Amino acid sequence: MNNQLRDNYRKETFGTLELISSKEEQLDYQNKVPIAHVSAELFCSWESCYQDVKDQDWYQSAFSKKEFEILKSFDATFEQVCSETEQDVPYITEFIQTKQWLTLSKAAKLALMELAAT
């Protein structure tokens, strides 16, 4: 079960970074699930797939040391963006036009590139 748990969280972490990095995926998600608040889900998804579990041994063992450092670096940018963003995050069509969204998206793209290179 531990291997499956690690695999699932690894997949979710990479998938969340993919979603955070892509305006097209975010807008497509909003169109497919109109009741979703995609902007808020970006933040909640990262919290659940990384922040809530990052200190667990089983979670850390799902990633190489280098991969985990990349995730920590992205998380630092994520926290910076959180501190600059209203608690009631704007709707996705508005959020994608903000400096905070651009910073977050670029950081996710960079993390994905670095992760692919490991």
| Residue position matching structure tokens 């501190």 | 83
Rounded to the nearest angstrom, the gap between the alpha carbon of residue 36 and the centroid of all alpha carbons in its chain is 17
Q: What is the pTM of this model?
A: 0.93
Tens-digit pLDDT string for the chain (118 aa): 588 889 999 999 999 999 999 999 999 999 999 999 999 999 999 999 999 999 999 899 999 999 999 999 999 999 999 999 988 899 999 999 999 999 999 999 999 999 999 9
The pair of three-digit structure tokens given for residue 11, joined into one six-digit string: 């997949």
| CA 30 to each of CA 5, 18, 36, 88, 112: distance values in angstroms, whole numbers, following the listed order | 28, 15, 6, 17, 22
**For the chain, domain boundaries:** 2-116
**Cα 100 to Cα 87: distance, rounded to the nearest angstrom:** 13
**Cα 72 to Cα 94: distance, rounded to the nearest angstrom:** 27
